[in-house]
Structure 1
Amino acid sequence: MSDTQSLIENRPPSVATLFLERVAATPAAEAYRYPVPGATADAPDEWHSYSWGEAGERVFAIAAGLTALGVRPEERVAVASGTRVDWILCDFGVLCSGAATTTIYPSTNTEETAYILADSDSRVLIAEDAAQLAKAREKRSELPHLSHVVVIEQADAVAEPGDPEGWVLSLDELIRRGTAHLEEHPDSVKDTVEALRSDQLATLIYTSGTTGKPKGVRLPHDCWSYMAKAIAQTGLVGPEDVQYLWLPLAHVFGKVLTSGQIEVGHVTAVDGRIDKIIENLPVVQPTYMAAVPRIFEKVYNGVAAKAKAGGAAKYKIFQWAAGVAREYGKVTQDNYRRTGTASAPAGLKAKHAVADRLVYAKLREAFGGNLRACVSGSAALAPDIGYFFSGAGIHILEGYGLTESSAASFVNPGEAYRTGTVGKPLPGTEVRIADDGEILLRGPGIMQGYHGLPEKTAEVLEDDGWFHTGDIGELSDDGYLRITDRKKDLIKTSGGKYIAPAEVEGQFKAVCPYVSNILVHGADRNFCTALIALDEPSLRDWAQEQETLKDKPYEEIIASDEVRELIDGYVEQLNSGLQRWQTIKKFRILPRDLDVEHGELTPSLKVKRPVVEREFKHLIDEMYEGTRAA
């Protein structure tokens, strides 16, 4: 048995055990950094830290406080909050109490929040603020099992007439109760953690889903214990790293990063405010960061739009530099694959050096200057965008996993990464491709099943442990996986041709700097069409340079002939590189971008195709007017 196999197979029974081991091993080392708003609105945030020892004290107090409230092993405690250090400490507190965390996005509406709380039988809700408390209060009569709401923001922990006595308390009060409990029972948390079994429920994550009610995915302690060990064994992160964590912790992608950290012991800077990312990067100076493709697309489109706004000469330089970056990324990755050295021909090296001084160095500086690698997951990254960042010295390691597989089933292996693939399986994870191309996974990271839904579980999880992902993919001879599409999203035209819409959509995002989202249609039709949503800030900047559109309201800009001509040019550019049956014959520009609030995007920014198709059915019908479906 190899050392890697031994470390993974002899993993401890729970992620709570790993947390206690980390606290004991490096109590004085820095664990988390978190922002505290400045004294005035104009003042910058101040960044504070917790050592592992300090984090451990708060986690123990939270765990003991929950026990004092009557929470018992495997009962559920929900967390409805944005990404912040308190989320992580509360989560570990729940796990160290023997209970299981139910995750809820703060953007989830009242009805769905109540559904998740009821379906999970959550005993306690840890709410970020008054807004999250109000959702539970409005539906309290439908939630008989919810005995307490713990509010993170002290000032918002206010009881109202009609609340049961003690129903609302602050996180500070929970910690005080836990501290008192530990004074009487000093070993209670350690004893609880020692008694945990690997198959005990640790986390209940409700899939945001693109259709129907969300399903609760049951992930036991062993999933996270395995993930922690497997991530460490990839060698992608080390104890000296600084991670910038802003992803939603209610999502499995954000959650898995907290497990990897406690095994490795590096620093994590935590701030979930999306509008602070650009401001935070030079302050945090991360060495690695995880993100979803939409973030890289926005950065690329923002840089391209800024260059275009700077005039023809500046935009021409950017286009040249972008082309050099893509070529350099492809050549160096290919050479590394063949020879083990990321080399490039002398002529390309010379061009790259010039482009680096003009463009790439500034881009790397905007990411904080120390970024060694980014991990991208949750959806496909357009290869042209991946190659651009690769050539610019910002290495994006694409990975793959689902909520049902604890997020990290595949990841690209460091220097040997290959843009357009999601890399190789984590140690201990098995993969095979079914006859119809579907990716099947098996291993310790796979869920126990869907909460209370045995029939749904049986549809995707075989008796021998193989999980049906619903994704279509291809494995290279040396084990790299390429995702081609969702099984259910493949389009078959009336002419019998199969089209992967994600592939076409990704190529358009790489050529058009103004696109935010695009949906390709064509199932059972004789040609393909597209709904295109544009990025408002980028388009406004472009419009300011147009004499006819300058200072016009956005609704006029988006509906103008000039914008249609602009996008038509990029559609023609896209079509020139596609097979005839893939080309976009007609398109419509949407009057606004897609968003979570309208229910068109999941909280992890995936497009809900059925919702968009219903909302804009009139535009789709208009494009196919006069034609017949097969």
Structure 2
Amino acid sequence: MATVTADAPITEAATEQVAHPDPATNVTDGVLALCESDPRCPVYAVPNGVGGWVDVTIDSFVGQVRRTARGLIGLGVGVGDRVVVMAPTSYWWAVIDQAIWFAGGVSVPIYETSSPQQVADVVRHAAPRLALVGGAEIAETVRRGVEAAAEGVRVLAVDGDAALRAIAAHGDGVDEATLEAARSAARLDDVATLVYTSGTTGRPKGVRITHRNLAEGAANIVPFARDILGEGPSRTLIFLPLAHVLARAVQLICLHHGIQVAHSPGAARLTEDLASFRPEWMLAVPRVYEKVHQSLQDAARDAGRRQIAESARRTAVEYSQARQRQADGGDGPSAALRAKRALYDRLVYRRLRDRLGGQIRYMVCGASALSPEIAHFFTGAGLPVQEGYGLTESTAPITLNIPGATRLGTVGLPVPGSTVRVADDGEVLLRGSVVFDGYHRDERATAEAFDDAGFFRTGDLGALDEDGYLAITGRKKELLVTAGGKNIHPAPLEERIRLCPLVAHAVVVGDDRPFVAALITLDAEAVASWSAAAGHEEMSLGEAAEHPAVREQVQQAVDAANEAVSRAESVRTFRILPLEFSEETGHVTPSQKLQRHRVIADCAEEIEGIYSR
């Protein structure tokens, strides 16, 4: 358990490190250790083409990695050379990731949704030897990016057995001794991967993540999160982009400890893949859980069971809240609440669990804040939510709620080997074995990122409770100061407004303005479902933005959000925009984080219109 300072308010919490890998090793040694101890352990599963899955054992996986790594060496990849990877989430991604390390290289993942210009920026900055891509469309994007960057980077496909065999063919002259020398060249403190931030606050930077960050992080989090990950054979489905450090770190944790992973390429196949693979725990970002939460209510409304669904939702939330009070020493659920929850378990919750495969014991949430109400709903419905916190610079998870030590509304305790400190101005500071080495080719940004004690400045605002649980309250740079001098943290307000089923995004504004307002965008799927159920003709987002019934629902959500703050902090008015914020528009990152600075810049006219009336 975390240790905390004795002062009030609590300013620091830490959890003692439990694993200390040999400094002469690197992240590939953990893979080889599992292969030696349990060669038949199923570490991956691939689709069999008829709706099922085929196991891939660790010895089979390592054999494929070795062959591919020889091919990379034959293609000229040397120790320390950087290799771009841009492909959908898949088993092939996992093979290539390890093969680059076996060849002594440094991987540079790029989100598959990136534009040619974004690719060009990374290629110029990272100066890779090679680019490995999945699919013809992505290959064309990378080729255009490489041309724009004026760099002579070779582009090769990696989207299947045939593509990997073609790469492996280049390694016919590479012997075992050469491969082993390349694989073992890196040490724990050498850079393993350059991960470019998704740029929610400005131009992306190349985060230097070391073998220590990855290997030591994996070794320490497993005993801490054992109840989530499972004892013995366990399985999970990864569908987040593997270019995202969270999904990639979790995949490596699984690989080092014999937890089987299957991959789903995205939303189109997710429901089918969950049903067929039946994972025991899942990892997702808040937007996924918000969508599942909303789809349940939509389905109930379409079936004429809206009142039952709403009562089931409230019951799950109340039950989870009562269980949390009980864990903190208070009263638990009443007999009446337990009976009501048991009834809805048969009518509603079991069906929800079945939609997710029927075997999920825990749902891990990261990347950004999840509404506590949604977390309580899933937990009360028998799908406990374990929320965590991390950034690219902390190799993702650095705090986590674990079973038996969970406080919904917080992002948990520091993972072993990590320290969380809250500065005088409320900024969350981090130190530990998972904290990055610095920014690639940017000494100034690196120096600015750390304080004099060596803590990383996250830019997030937070607070620690008396037991060391961290709560994130907002972004330091997103703090709004109204013309009247009132400090406003927009995130809590935005979080509550997004509870409205029709709302996709909410952006609270009011910096140097006389009052607080909000920009709202609607969820196109939710609008279509709602309009059909209400008997309205199909409407565009622009029409929905002006519809009185839509505005009434959004106003109710704004009113509910305002109840949690003072009048000076409350949202006085809002504007519903006739558009969506997405990756394509440049307003949302691939991990579904809103790029506030882009929204503010692109919607300057709309914001000015709010205050000029």
Task: Output the TM-score relative to the length of structure 1.
Answer: 0.90
Give the superposition deviation at 1:4.
7.7
Write out aligned runs for 1:211-610 (5 A).
Answer: 211-234=201-224, 235=226, 236-238=228-230, 239-311=232-304, 314-338=305-329, 343-462=332-451, 464-510=453-499, 512-547=500-535, 549-553=536-540, 555-610=542-597
Q: In structure 2, give the amino acid aligned to 1:350.
A: A
- What secondary structure, in the 3-state scheme, does the structure 2 residue paired with 1:305 have? helix
- 1:190 is matched with 180
- 2:603 is matched with 616
Q: In structure 2, give the amino acid aligned to 1:528.
A: V
Q: In structure 1, give the amino acid aligned to 2:449.
A: V
Write out aligned runs for 1:48-197 (5 A).
Answer: 48-141=54-147, 146-153=152-159, 170-178=163-171, 180-181=172-173, 185-197=175-187
CA distance in 1, matches of 2:27, 2:517: 48
Give the superposition deviation at 1:255.
1.0
- What secondary structure, in the 3-state scheme, does the structure 2 residue paired with 1:618 have? helix
Give the superposition deviation at 1:76.
0.2
- What secondary structure, in the 3-state scheme, does the structure 2 residue paired with 1:243 have? strand
Give the superposition deviation at 1:398.
0.6
CA distance in 1, matches of 2:287, 2:23: 35
CA distance in 2, matches of 1:12, 1:270: 32
Query: 2:193 aligned to 195, 203, 219, which one?
Result: 203
Give the superposition deviation at 1:189.
2.7
Are residues 141 and 592 of structure 1, via their aligned partners in 2, closer, same or farther at CA, if it must alter by over 3 Å? Answer: closer
- 1:166 is matched with none
Give yes or no for the alignment of 1:18 onto 2:30: yes
Are residues 462 and 4 of structure 1, via their aligned partners in 2, closer, same or farther at CA, if it must alter by over 3 Å? Answer: closer
Q: In structure 1, give the amino acid aligned to 2:321.
A: K
Are residues 148 and 601 of structure 1, via their aligned partners in 2, closer, same or farther at CA, if it must alter by over 3 Å? Answer: same
Q: In structure 2, give the amino acid aligned to 1:237.
A: L
Unaligned 5+ segments in structure 1 are: 39-43, 158-169
Q: How many residues align?
A: 596
Give the superposition deviation at 1:114.
1.4
- What secondary structure, in the 3-state scheme, does the structure 2 residue paired with 1:199 have? coil
Are residues 582 and 308 of structure 1, via their aligned partners in 2, closer, same or farther at CA, if it must alter by over 3 Å? Answer: farther
Which has the higher mean CA deviation after the structures are superposed, 411-420 or 558-567? Answer: 558-567
- What secondary structure, in the 3-state scheme, does the structure 1 residue paired with 2:141 have? helix
CA distance in 2, matches of 1:411, 1:17: 26
Give the superposition deviation at 1:528.
1.5
Unaligned 5+ segments in structure 2 are: 1-14
CA distance in 2, matches of 1:283, 1:30: 17
Q: In structure 1, give the amino acid aligned to 2:285.
A: V
Q: Is the 8 A contact 1:12 1:225 kept in 2?
A: no
Deviations 1:483-507 (A, max 9, x none): 1111111222223222221111111
Q: Is the 8 A contact 1:337 1:416 kept in 2?
A: no
CA distance in 2, matches of 1:10, 1:434: 33
Q: Is the 8 A contact 1:232 1:263 kept in 2?
A: no
CA distance in 2, matches of 1:552, 1:214: 37
Deviations 1:566-594 (A, max 9, x none): 32233233334443223221111121221
Give the superposition deviation at 1:596.
0.2
- 2:8 is matched with none
- What secondary structure, in the 3-state scheme, does the structure 1 residue paired with 2:448 have? helix
Deviations 1:141-167 (A, max 9, x none): 555654422202369x9xxxxxxxxxx
CA distance in 2, matches of 1:22, 1:189: 19
Which has the higher mean CA deviation after the structures are superposed, 376-385 or 320-329? Answer: 320-329
CA distance in 2, matches of 1:597, 1:193: 38
CA distance in 2, matches of 1:528, 1:568: 14
CA distance in 1, matches of 2:16, 2:63: 32
- 2:4 is matched with none
